[in-house]
Structure 1
Amino acid sequence: MLLSPCIEWMFAEAHADMGDRIRAAAAAGYSAGEFHLWRDKNLESVAAALRETGSKLTGACVDPRRSLVDPAQQDEFAQAVEESLAAARTIGSPPMIIASGFTREGVSEGEHFAAAVAALKRAAALAEAADVMLVLEPLNDRVEHPGMWLVSTTKGLDLIEAVGSTHLRLLYDVYHSQVMGEDMEAVLRGRIHLVHHVQVADMPGRNEPGTGTIDWGKAMQTLRDLGYTGAIGLEYRPTLPPAESLAATRAALGL
């Protein structure tokens, strides 16, 4: 499996510029990377580093973040998607990551779901025209994202099925899923074809795999058994210098 360090955090102490972090990752033997929001990045530098190294990005976030479940924000969400897809073309058209936004008080679950489907259908049409993948990420509401609506992998997959676009898939984050107490094999069984990307971090702490309580041997074997062959995004906060952190992560993942 291709390992893709999250250069939002990895190599950050030595390199302020995201292009230089891509070069650092390449020098360390990693031909892929990912980061969060794009508007605060020098995309010209990113593009130049990608060309120089032959590396690719496995993800960046639709920016600015807007709610899928609040009809009052859906025009802004569509605009954010359209602008993010245009930006993606300048940096190799990586998958663009979407989160749901926050639960609306007094609004039924059915209304939330219907609003999300409507917003995602609109976004998927834009992604199809641009030929860029959108990936929907369920987060957790127990540690980092209190009030977040989409915190269930099953519900995320239900949304993708309801939208029915080849340009909308799931980002499965092992950390968020484990924080929410999900059983990986149970929630992904028979639906792995809807997962485009996987991210990893340990819990508690969201640090390197091997620093917490997740059984990474079991987790990685489950992904293999289910048929996942895509990239693994190393979206964790490193506690060690990059070379040591990445070596420890590879050992924990068995890769």
Structure 2
Amino acid sequence: MPVPSTLSSCVEWQFTEAGGVEDRIRAARDAGFAKAEFHLWRDKDMGAIAAALQETGVVLTGICVDPRRSIVDPAEHDEMLAAVRETIAATAPLGKPPLIVASGFRVEGMSEEEHFANAVSVLKKAAALAEEAGVLLVLEPLNTKLFSAMYLVSTKLGLDIVEAVDSPALRLLYDVWHSAVMGEDMAEVLRGRTHLVAHVQYADMPDRNEPGTGTLDWGQVVSTLRDLGYDGAIGLEYFPTVPMAESLAITRKALGV
């Protein structure tokens, strides 16, 4: 049964029994997905992945800029921009998917204003590279449960940075699980700013498993995003608790699709 075209399987964690990412993409397509995403690329066979995408017609909705480097520490800015350039080049044969950027860790002794200014400065340069290449960067806020010293753990702050960079090549990735861990109210943090969000990811609380296995009200999540005007891709970035056929059935029931 085809999966709704908005849903994207995170094959980093799903369909792992199929083998490498290229085979997981094929398994995802066999399960009805038309979209997929994964994390880092340097440890993967990019030629094989490109072949699997061409064979299946699956569209990638996200890959991380690799290696991950800080946007708030000026000492890492040259490496961060080099990573953007290299990731743009490496992922071009994969259809120029959106490239995910995390912030890196706070710098001891640096003020909030300096953190923000440093982030905006390097992201303006990164966005210019992406715009020239016809690629979209998506900035992802994480959470302090996983990364206690991470700078960007607030959706509001992430959106403020995107607005300050002011480039069509930079948007926000809104992860429902990270946001819930931080105790955010989805409607409050996204209201009036959904046009700055290019990708959304789903996982249930508290253990980052499939929707329908935890404490989040998925009917409310889905209706809130719809009411706010979001109609883009939804990445199912969760750890399945059961085989993927069962996991997908649980997820579809929870999401009402």
Q: Residues 1-255 of structure 1 correspond to what in structure 2 (within 5 A)? A: 2-12=6-16, 14-141=17-144, 143-255=145-257
Write the letter of the residue equivalent to 1:46: I
| 2-structure distance, mates of 1:86, 1:53 | 22
* Deviations, residues 41-68 of structure 1 (Å, cap 9, x unaligned): 1111111111111111000000000000
Q: Percent identity?
A: 65
| 1-structure distance, mates of 2:256, 2:156 | 27
| 1-structure distance, mates of 2:203, 2:162 | 24
| 1-structure distance, mates of 2:79, 2:151 | 18
How far residue 75 of structure 1 moved from its aligned partner, in angstroms, is 0.1
| 2-structure distance, mates of 1:196, 1:248 | 25
Give the secondary-structure state (helix, strand or coil) at the position aligned to 1:233: strand
Q: TM-score, normalised by structure 2?
A: 0.97
| 2-structure distance, mates of 1:55, 1:203 | 28
* Deviations, residues 190-223 of structure 1 (Å, cap 9, x unaligned): 0000000000001110111111111110011000
| 2-structure distance, mates of 1:32, 1:74 | 32
RMSD: 0.7
Q: Where has structure 1 moved over 2 Å in runs of 4 or more?
A: none
| 2-structure distance, mates of 1:162, 1:204 | 32
| 2-structure distance, mates of 1:53, 1:110 | 47
| 1-structure distance, mates of 2:233, 2:248 | 15
How far residue 229 of structure 1 moved from its aligned partner, in angstroms, is 0.4
Give the secondary-structure state (helix, strand or coil) at the position aligned to 2:38: strand
How far residue 105 of structure 1 moved from its aligned partner, in angstroms, is 1.2
How far residue 106 of structure 1 moved from its aligned partner, in angstroms, is 1.1
| 2-structure distance, mates of 1:95, 1:247 | 27
How far residue 250 of structure 1 moved from its aligned partner, in angstroms, is 1.1
Write the letter of the residue equivalent to 1:215: D
How far residue 15 of structure 1 moved from its aligned partner, in angstroms, is 2.2
| 1-structure distance, mates of 2:187, 2:232 | 17
**Structure 1, unpaired ranges of 5+:** none
| 2-structure distance, mates of 1:11, 1:144 | 24
| 2-structure distance, mates of 1:86, 1:235 | 25
Q: TM-score, normalised by structure 1?
A: 0.98
* Deviations, residues 60-93 of structure 1 (Å, cap 9, x unaligned): 0000000000000000000000000111201111
Give the secondary-structure state (helix, strand or coil) at the position aligned to 2:62: strand
Give the secondary-structure state (helix, strand or coil) at the position aligned to 2:184: coil
